[in-house]
Amino acid sequence: MTVIVGSPGVLLRVKASRPRPRPLLSPPHPIAHPRRHRRYVFTPCAAKAQPLGTARLTVCRDPNRIGDRFVAPAGRDFHFLWWSGLVRLAVISDIHGNAEALRAVLADIETRNVEAVVCLGDIVGYGPDPLACVDLVAERCLWSLLGNHDFGVLYEPTNFNPGAEQAAYWTRTQFETEADEAARARRWTFLSQLRVRVKFGSENQIIAVHGSPRRPVNEYVFPDDAINGTLKIQQIFERIDRCAVVGHTHVPGVFTDEPDFYTPAELKNRFTFQNGEKCMINVGSVGQPRDNDPRASYVIIEDGSIEFLRVPYDIDAVARKIKSIPQLNDWLADRLYEGR
């Protein structure tokens, strides 16, 4: 099931299909619109998320309406949710062309009653299956962001070490040599439309970026920064209304504005938002974890809490593929076993 989630006050343009949306918990205001289109104004409602019915969505990309909140393929059937805050949202990041890890995570998400999946970028780079990963993210994620490796493949590798740069060029070649012209164009278009930041959640209090709210694509925020980079953390938190979700370092955990950093183990894999406190959540990496745990990492956000999850996958299969590709350094396979 694909679900559109959003904030109160959001305008959606909806083309109803059969069956038409049922009467709502709190009726929206249908605004007259030519032909079969209607506009619905979502207003605040305290009710827990409940499906309103099925409708065919015409995606509206005007950022003043829904652009920062909804990006989804047009013409599909969606279940609309009425919600006053977050529903259950899975956040994945840093897949890095590791299709085995991505499929394992998506399968795990399927079992957890999650309404939507979003991705914080670095879909490609390092791994042997960039095309499959782009296709899966395009199909399964509500939206994705642009990571520095996506940027490197699409435009040019910036500040990459030689191995990463070579992997980026090999990855670009995979996109360029796709025989299916339509598939090639579709993937390039998808990559070129990735955004660098999205705000979502109740009153848009959550900002999602790949790197940091200060430098969305390229800035690393490491756990040590909570101790040694106090000014850096302060400037980053000045750009956070309530919460940020990030990736990039491949190290999951929670930064607070004290400042401090907590690993998932220290939090027993669950962090609960406190009133008046700001936080920045690193969701870890699906395809190349670097916290000494080789299992794929992702999080689920639900109302006021974050759950950190780990998923084992077939590392042998990925390592074999990497080692069969001369342009991908064997180290990229070896590090998967160690999670670093």
Kindly tell me which of 104 and 123 has the beta carbon lying closer to Fe ion: 123
**Residue of 4, 70, 94, 144 interacting with Fe ion (CB under 5 A):** 94
Kindly tell me which of 165 and 303 has the beta carbon lying closer to Fe ion: 165
Question: What's the closest the beta carbon of residue 320 comes to Fe ion, in angstroms?
Answer: 22
Question: What's the closest the beta carbon of residue 180 comes to Fe ion, in angstroms?
Answer: 27
Spatial neighbors of 328 by CB under 8 A, at least 6 apart, are: 126, 128, 166, 167, 170, 322
Quote the distance between the C-alpha of residue 168 and its chain's center. 21
Point out which span in 99-107, 116-124, 159-167, 180-188 binds Fe ion (CB under 5 A): 116-124
Residue 173, CB half-sphere, CA atoms under 13 Å: how many? 10
How many residues comprise the chain? 340
Question: What's the closest the beta carbon of residue 197 comes to Fe ion, in angstroms?
Answer: 16
Is there binding between residue 291 and Fe ion (CB under 5 A)? no
Closest CA to 268 of 311, 312, 325, 308: 308
Quote the distance between the C-alpha of residue 26 and its chain's center. 30
Q: Which residue is nearest to Fe ion (CB)?
A: 122
Question: What's the closest the beta carbon of residue 95 comes to Fe ion, in angstroms?
Answer: 9
Point out which span in 3-11, 57-65, 92-100, 150-158 binds Fe ion (CB under 5 A): 92-100
Kindly tell me which of 108 and 122 has the beta carbon lying closer to Fe ion: 122
Cross-strand partners of 289: none
CA distance 36 to 282: 43
Point out which span in 94-102, 225-233, 262-270, 276-284 binds Fe ion (CB under 5 A): 94-102
Kindly tell me which of 122 and 129 has the beta carbon lying closer to Fe ion: 122
Strands 260-262 and 3-4: unpaired
Q: Which of residues 132-191 bind Fe ion (CB under 5 A)?
A: none
What is the enclosing helix (H) or strand (E) of 243?
Answer: strand 243-246
Question: What's the closest the beta carbon of residue 287 comes to Fe ion, in angstroms?
Answer: 8
Kindly tell me which of 88 and 210 has the beta carbon lying closer to Fe ion: 210
Point out which span in 7-15, 87-95, 156-164, 272-280 binds Fe ion (CB under 5 A): 87-95
Within 10 angstroms of residue 283's Cβ, the number of other Cβ atoms is 29
CA distance 264 to 285: 13
CA distance 232 to 150: 25
Quote the distance between the C-alpha of residue 340 and its chain's center. 21
How many residues touch Fe ion under the rule CB under 5 A: the total is 2
Kindly tell me which of 165 and 241 has the beta carbon lying closer to Fe ion: 165
Q: Which amino acid is at 235?
A: Q
Question: What's the closest the beta carbon of residue 81 comes to Fe ion, in angstroms?
Answer: 31
Is there binding between residue 122 and Fe ion (CB under 5 A)? yes
Kindly tell me which of 132 and 164 has the beta carbon lying closer to Fe ion: 164
Kindly tell me which of 69 and 335 has the beta carbon lying closer to Fe ion: 335
Question: What's the closest the beta carbon of residue 166 comes to Fe ion, in angstroms?
Answer: 16
> What CA–CA distances, in Å, run from 225 to 165, 230, 232, 306?
26, 7, 8, 22
DSSP 65: I
Interface residues with Fe ion (CB under 5 A) are: 94, 122
